[in-house]
Amino acid sequence: MTVSQEARGGIVAPQVTRQEVRAPAAAARTSGAARGRMVLYRLLLAAAIIAFWQFASGTLVAEFFISKPSAIVEALQRQIAVGSLFFHIGITATEAFSGFLIGASAGVTAGVLLGRIPFLSDLLQPFILAFYSLPKIALAPLFILWIGIGIWMKIVLTATVVFFLVFLNTFTGVRSVSRELVAILKLMGASERHVLFKVVLPSAIAWVFAGLRISVPYALIGAIVGELIAANRGLGFVLASATGQFDTAGVFAALLVIMAMAFVLNTLVRIVEHRLMPWKVSEAEREITI
Protein backbone atom coordinates (compact mmCIF):
# COMPACT_ATOMS: atom_id res chain seq x y z
CA MET A 1 0.00 0.00 0.00
CA THR A 2 1.37 3.44 -0.98
CA VAL A 3 0.62 6.79 0.64
CA SER A 4 0.12 9.99 -1.34
CA GLN A 5 -0.04 13.59 -0.04
CA GLU A 6 -3.07 15.40 -1.44
CA ALA A 7 -2.50 18.90 -2.67
CA ARG A 8 -5.29 20.44 -0.62
CA GLY A 9 -5.51 20.23 3.13
CA GLY A 10 -2.48 18.02 3.48
CA ILE A 11 -4.66 14.89 3.89
CA VAL A 12 -2.86 11.59 3.75
CA ALA A 13 -4.85 9.16 1.60
CA PRO A 14 -3.89 5.52 1.27
CA GLN A 15 -3.82 4.02 -2.20
CA VAL A 16 -4.29 0.31 -2.73
CA THR A 17 -2.06 -1.28 -5.34
CA ARG A 18 -3.20 -3.92 -7.84
CA GLN A 19 -1.05 -6.53 -6.15
CA GLU A 20 -2.92 -6.02 -2.88
CA VAL A 21 -6.29 -6.30 -4.65
CA ARG A 22 -5.28 -9.55 -6.33
CA ALA A 23 -3.77 -11.09 -3.18
CA PRO A 24 -7.06 -12.28 -1.56
CA ALA A 25 -8.25 -13.84 -4.83
CA ALA A 26 -4.92 -15.61 -5.28
CA ALA A 27 -5.04 -16.85 -1.70
CA ALA A 28 -8.60 -18.13 -2.23
CA ARG A 29 -7.57 -19.99 -5.38
CA THR A 30 -4.60 -21.52 -3.59
CA SER A 31 -6.78 -22.58 -0.68
CA GLY A 32 -9.37 -24.09 -3.03
CA ALA A 33 -6.68 -26.00 -4.93
CA ALA A 34 -5.25 -27.33 -1.66
CA ARG A 35 -8.69 -28.52 -0.54
CA GLY A 36 -9.25 -30.18 -3.91
CA ARG A 37 -5.94 -32.02 -3.66
CA MET A 38 -6.76 -33.13 -0.12
CA VAL A 39 -10.14 -34.52 -1.25
CA LEU A 40 -8.37 -36.41 -4.04
CA TYR A 41 -5.81 -37.83 -1.60
CA ARG A 42 -8.60 -38.97 0.72
CA LEU A 43 -10.45 -40.69 -2.12
CA LEU A 44 -7.28 -42.44 -3.22
CA LEU A 45 -6.56 -43.58 0.33
CA ALA A 46 -10.12 -44.87 0.77
CA ALA A 47 -9.91 -46.73 -2.56
CA ALA A 48 -6.58 -48.30 -1.55
CA ILE A 49 -7.99 -49.44 1.81
CA ILE A 50 -11.09 -50.94 0.17
CA ALA A 51 -9.01 -52.72 -2.48
CA PHE A 52 -6.65 -54.17 0.13
CA TRP A 53 -9.62 -55.21 2.28
CA GLN A 54 -11.24 -56.98 -0.67
CA PHE A 55 -7.99 -58.79 -1.44
CA ALA A 56 -7.15 -59.69 2.18
CA SER A 57 -10.59 -61.12 2.97
CA GLY A 58 -10.43 -64.84 2.36
CA THR A 59 -6.74 -64.65 1.47
CA LEU A 60 -4.93 -63.28 4.51
CA VAL A 61 -7.84 -63.32 6.98
CA ALA A 62 -10.91 -65.55 7.03
CA GLU A 63 -13.89 -63.83 5.44
CA PHE A 64 -16.02 -64.76 8.46
CA PHE A 65 -14.11 -62.26 10.62
CA ILE A 66 -13.82 -59.20 8.34
CA SER A 67 -16.31 -59.91 5.52
CA LYS A 68 -15.72 -58.15 2.18
CA PRO A 69 -16.59 -54.67 0.88
CA SER A 70 -18.58 -56.28 -1.93
CA ALA A 71 -20.55 -58.38 0.59
CA ILE A 72 -21.20 -55.29 2.72
CA VAL A 73 -22.60 -53.44 -0.30
CA GLU A 74 -24.84 -56.43 -1.06
CA ALA A 75 -26.08 -56.44 2.56
CA LEU A 76 -26.93 -52.74 2.30
CA GLN A 77 -28.73 -53.30 -1.00
CA ARG A 78 -30.79 -56.12 0.53
CA GLN A 79 -31.86 -53.97 3.48
CA ILE A 80 -32.72 -51.07 1.17
CA ALA A 81 -34.71 -53.37 -1.12
CA VAL A 82 -36.68 -54.76 1.82
CA GLY A 83 -37.35 -51.20 2.98
CA SER A 84 -36.27 -51.72 6.58
CA LEU A 85 -32.99 -49.80 6.54
CA PHE A 86 -34.43 -46.28 6.32
CA PHE A 87 -37.04 -47.13 8.95
CA HIS A 88 -34.32 -48.14 11.42
CA ILE A 89 -32.21 -45.11 10.46
CA GLY A 90 -35.20 -42.84 11.17
CA ILE A 91 -35.72 -44.36 14.63
CA THR A 92 -32.06 -44.02 15.64
CA ALA A 93 -31.81 -40.52 14.16
CA THR A 94 -34.89 -39.42 16.10
CA GLU A 95 -33.48 -40.78 19.36
CA ALA A 96 -30.01 -39.32 18.84
CA PHE A 97 -31.15 -35.92 17.56
CA SER A 98 -33.87 -35.46 20.20
CA GLY A 99 -31.56 -36.53 23.00
CA PHE A 100 -28.82 -34.29 21.64
CA LEU A 101 -31.10 -31.23 21.56
CA ILE A 102 -32.50 -31.85 25.04
CA GLY A 103 -29.13 -32.64 26.61
CA ALA A 104 -27.35 -29.75 24.88
CA SER A 105 -30.03 -27.22 25.83
CA ALA A 106 -30.02 -28.34 29.45
CA GLY A 107 -26.20 -28.44 29.52
CA VAL A 108 -25.82 -24.89 28.16
CA THR A 109 -28.47 -23.54 30.56
CA ALA A 110 -26.97 -25.24 33.61
CA GLY A 111 -23.43 -24.29 32.60
CA VAL A 112 -24.30 -20.60 32.25
CA LEU A 113 -26.34 -20.60 35.46
CA LEU A 114 -23.70 -22.25 37.62
CA GLY A 115 -20.92 -20.29 35.94
CA ARG A 116 -22.54 -16.99 36.87
CA ILE A 117 -23.54 -18.02 40.43
CA PRO A 118 -20.38 -19.08 42.31
CA PHE A 119 -22.29 -20.06 45.47
CA LEU A 120 -24.50 -22.45 43.52
CA SER A 121 -21.55 -23.99 41.67
CA ASP A 122 -19.59 -24.50 44.92
CA LEU A 123 -22.66 -26.07 46.54
CA LEU A 124 -23.35 -28.52 43.72
CA GLN A 125 -19.76 -29.26 42.67
CA PRO A 126 -19.32 -32.59 44.56
CA PHE A 127 -22.69 -33.87 43.33
CA ILE A 128 -21.92 -32.91 39.73
CA LEU A 129 -18.52 -34.58 39.87
CA ALA A 130 -20.09 -37.72 41.35
CA PHE A 131 -22.65 -37.97 38.55
CA TYR A 132 -20.05 -37.09 35.92
CA SER A 133 -17.77 -39.89 37.14
CA LEU A 134 -20.60 -42.40 36.88
CA PRO A 135 -20.68 -44.28 33.54
CA LYS A 136 -23.90 -43.06 31.98
CA ILE A 137 -24.56 -46.41 30.33
CA ALA A 138 -24.95 -47.88 33.82
CA LEU A 139 -28.11 -45.78 34.15
CA ALA A 140 -29.82 -47.61 31.28
CA PRO A 141 -31.33 -50.40 33.47
CA LEU A 142 -32.68 -47.76 35.84
CA PHE A 143 -34.21 -45.81 32.96
CA ILE A 144 -35.84 -49.02 31.72
CA LEU A 145 -37.48 -49.47 35.12
CA TRP A 146 -38.64 -45.85 35.21
CA ILE A 147 -39.60 -45.21 31.58
CA GLY A 148 -39.85 -48.61 29.91
CA ILE A 149 -38.17 -49.89 26.76
CA GLY A 150 -39.77 -47.42 24.36
CA ILE A 151 -38.14 -44.61 22.42
CA TRP A 152 -38.17 -42.22 25.39
CA MET A 153 -35.74 -44.40 27.31
CA LYS A 154 -33.15 -43.98 24.54
CA ILE A 155 -33.82 -40.25 24.30
CA VAL A 156 -33.37 -39.76 28.05
CA LEU A 157 -30.21 -41.87 28.06
CA THR A 158 -28.79 -39.89 25.13
CA ALA A 159 -29.71 -36.57 26.76
CA THR A 160 -27.99 -37.62 29.98
CA VAL A 161 -24.78 -38.50 28.14
CA VAL A 162 -24.78 -35.25 26.16
CA PHE A 163 -25.72 -33.05 29.12
CA PHE A 164 -22.54 -33.50 31.13
CA LEU A 165 -20.22 -32.99 28.15
CA VAL A 166 -21.91 -29.74 27.10
CA PHE A 167 -22.36 -28.57 30.69
CA LEU A 168 -18.69 -28.88 31.66
CA ASN A 169 -17.50 -27.09 28.53
CA THR A 170 -20.05 -24.30 28.95
CA PHE A 171 -19.27 -23.94 32.65
CA THR A 172 -15.54 -23.71 31.93
CA GLY A 173 -16.13 -21.14 29.20
CA VAL A 174 -18.30 -18.96 31.42
CA ARG A 175 -15.82 -19.09 34.28
CA SER A 176 -12.99 -18.19 31.88
CA VAL A 177 -14.53 -14.84 30.96
CA SER A 178 -12.35 -11.88 31.96
CA ARG A 179 -13.40 -10.71 35.41
CA GLU A 180 -11.88 -7.29 34.77
CA LEU A 181 -14.09 -6.79 31.72
CA VAL A 182 -17.19 -7.83 33.67
CA ALA A 183 -16.23 -5.51 36.54
CA ILE A 184 -15.77 -2.58 34.14
CA LEU A 185 -19.21 -3.15 32.63
CA LYS A 186 -20.76 -3.33 36.09
CA LEU A 187 -19.11 -0.04 37.01
CA MET A 188 -20.58 1.49 33.85
CA GLY A 189 -24.04 0.48 35.05
CA ALA A 190 -24.59 -2.64 32.97
CA SER A 191 -27.19 -5.08 34.26
CA GLU A 192 -26.63 -8.82 34.61
CA ARG A 193 -28.63 -9.38 31.41
CA HIS A 194 -26.36 -7.05 29.45
CA VAL A 195 -23.24 -8.67 30.90
CA LEU A 196 -24.60 -12.10 30.01
CA PHE A 197 -25.56 -11.37 26.40
CA LYS A 198 -22.84 -8.85 25.54
CA VAL A 199 -19.80 -10.44 27.19
CA VAL A 200 -20.32 -13.84 28.78
CA LEU A 201 -22.09 -15.72 25.99
CA PRO A 202 -19.96 -14.32 23.12
CA SER A 203 -16.82 -15.21 25.09
CA ALA A 204 -18.00 -18.71 26.03
CA ILE A 205 -19.59 -19.68 22.70
CA ALA A 206 -16.38 -21.30 21.44
CA TRP A 207 -16.37 -23.54 24.53
CA VAL A 208 -20.04 -24.36 23.96
CA PHE A 209 -19.48 -25.53 20.40
CA ALA A 210 -16.43 -27.50 21.46
CA GLY A 211 -18.70 -29.41 23.83
CA LEU A 212 -21.33 -29.84 21.13
CA ARG A 213 -18.82 -31.29 18.67
CA ILE A 214 -17.47 -33.67 21.30
CA SER A 215 -20.97 -34.82 22.27
CA VAL A 216 -22.10 -35.69 18.72
CA PRO A 217 -20.66 -39.24 18.68
CA TYR A 218 -21.74 -39.76 22.28
CA ALA A 219 -25.31 -38.95 21.30
CA LEU A 220 -25.21 -41.83 18.84
CA ILE A 221 -23.53 -44.02 21.45
CA GLY A 222 -26.38 -43.39 23.87
CA ALA A 223 -29.03 -44.19 21.27
CA ILE A 224 -27.26 -47.30 19.96
CA VAL A 225 -26.48 -48.69 23.42
CA GLY A 226 -30.09 -48.15 24.47
CA GLU A 227 -31.23 -50.10 21.42
CA LEU A 228 -28.71 -52.86 22.07
CA ILE A 229 -30.02 -53.27 25.62
CA ALA A 230 -33.74 -53.25 24.87
CA ALA A 231 -35.28 -52.53 21.46
CA ASN A 232 -36.91 -54.18 18.49
CA ARG A 233 -36.11 -51.37 16.04
CA GLY A 234 -33.29 -48.98 15.28
CA LEU A 235 -29.73 -49.48 14.07
CA GLY A 236 -28.72 -50.95 17.43
CA PHE A 237 -31.34 -53.64 16.93
CA VAL A 238 -30.07 -54.24 13.38
CA LEU A 239 -26.54 -54.55 14.77
CA ALA A 240 -27.60 -57.00 17.48
CA SER A 241 -29.71 -59.02 15.05
CA ALA A 242 -26.84 -59.36 12.55
CA THR A 243 -24.48 -60.37 15.37
CA GLY A 244 -26.90 -63.04 16.56
CA GLN A 245 -27.04 -64.49 13.04
CA PHE A 246 -23.23 -64.36 12.66
CA ASP A 247 -23.75 -62.05 9.68
CA THR A 248 -20.44 -60.17 9.56
CA ALA A 249 -21.41 -58.26 6.44
CA GLY A 250 -24.62 -57.11 8.12
CA VAL A 251 -22.66 -55.92 11.17
CA PHE A 252 -20.26 -53.90 9.02
CA ALA A 253 -23.19 -52.49 7.02
CA ALA A 254 -24.85 -51.24 10.22
CA LEU A 255 -21.57 -49.76 11.42
CA LEU A 256 -21.11 -47.99 8.09
CA VAL A 257 -24.55 -46.40 8.36
CA ILE A 258 -23.84 -45.31 11.96
CA MET A 259 -20.60 -43.65 10.81
CA ALA A 260 -22.51 -41.81 8.07
CA MET A 261 -25.05 -40.57 10.62
CA ALA A 262 -22.27 -39.30 12.91
CA PHE A 263 -20.75 -37.43 9.96
CA VAL A 264 -24.10 -35.79 9.13
CA LEU A 265 -24.71 -34.72 12.75
CA ASN A 266 -21.20 -33.32 13.04
CA THR A 267 -21.64 -31.41 9.79
CA LEU A 268 -24.89 -29.86 11.07
CA VAL A 269 -23.13 -28.68 14.23
CA ARG A 270 -20.35 -27.11 12.14
CA ILE A 271 -22.88 -25.31 9.94
CA VAL A 272 -24.61 -23.82 12.99
CA GLU A 273 -21.22 -22.88 14.44
CA HIS A 274 -20.24 -21.05 11.25
CA ARG A 275 -23.55 -19.21 11.20
CA LEU A 276 -23.25 -18.05 14.81
CA MET A 277 -19.51 -17.35 14.67
CA PRO A 278 -18.68 -16.11 11.15
CA TRP A 279 -15.65 -14.28 12.48
CA LYS A 280 -14.03 -17.36 13.90
CA VAL A 281 -11.59 -19.54 11.97
CA SER A 282 -11.37 -22.70 14.02
CA GLU A 283 -8.25 -24.78 14.38
CA ALA A 284 -9.96 -27.60 12.54
CA GLU A 285 -10.39 -25.37 9.49
CA ARG A 286 -6.78 -24.21 9.64
CA GLU A 287 -5.62 -27.79 9.45
CA ILE A 288 -7.80 -30.31 7.64
CA THR A 289 -11.57 -30.08 7.91
CA ILE A 290 -13.71 -33.17 7.92
Tens of pLDDT, residue by residue over 217-229, are: 899 989 999 898 8
199 vs 179, 203, 205, CA distance in Å?
Answer: 10, 6, 10
| pLDDT at position 288 over 50 | no
> What is the predicted pLDDT for the residue at 21?
47
Backbone angles phi, psi at 26, to 5 degrees: -65, -40
Please compute the mean of the pLDDT values over residues 18-22 and round it to a whole number: 52
> What is the predicted pLDDT for the residue at 278?
66
In the chain, the percentage of residues whose pLDDT exceeds 70 is: 84
Give pLDDT tens digits for 68-102.
999 999 999 988 888 888 899 999 999 999 999 99
Question: What is the pLDDT confidence band of residue 148, given thresholds at 50, 70 and 90?
Answer: confident
For all residues of the chain together, what is the average pLDDT?
82
Please compute the mean of the pLDDT values over residues 126-153 and round it to a whole number: 87
Question: What is the pLDDT confidence band of residue 279, given thresholds at 50, 70 and 90?
Answer: low
Give pLDDT tens digits for 150-173.
899 999 999 999 999 999 999 988
Neighbours of 157 (CB within 10 A): 28
| Positive or negative: CA dihedral 185, 168, 275, 92 | negative
Q: Which fold has domain 64-286?
A: MetI-like fold (1.10.3720)
Of 162, 177, 174, 172, the residue nearest 106 (C-alpha): 162
Where do the domains of the chain lie?
Answer: 2-56, 64-286
| pLDDT at position 106 over 90 | yes
Give pLDDT tens digits for 181-213.
778 877 887 777 778 777 888 888 888 888 888
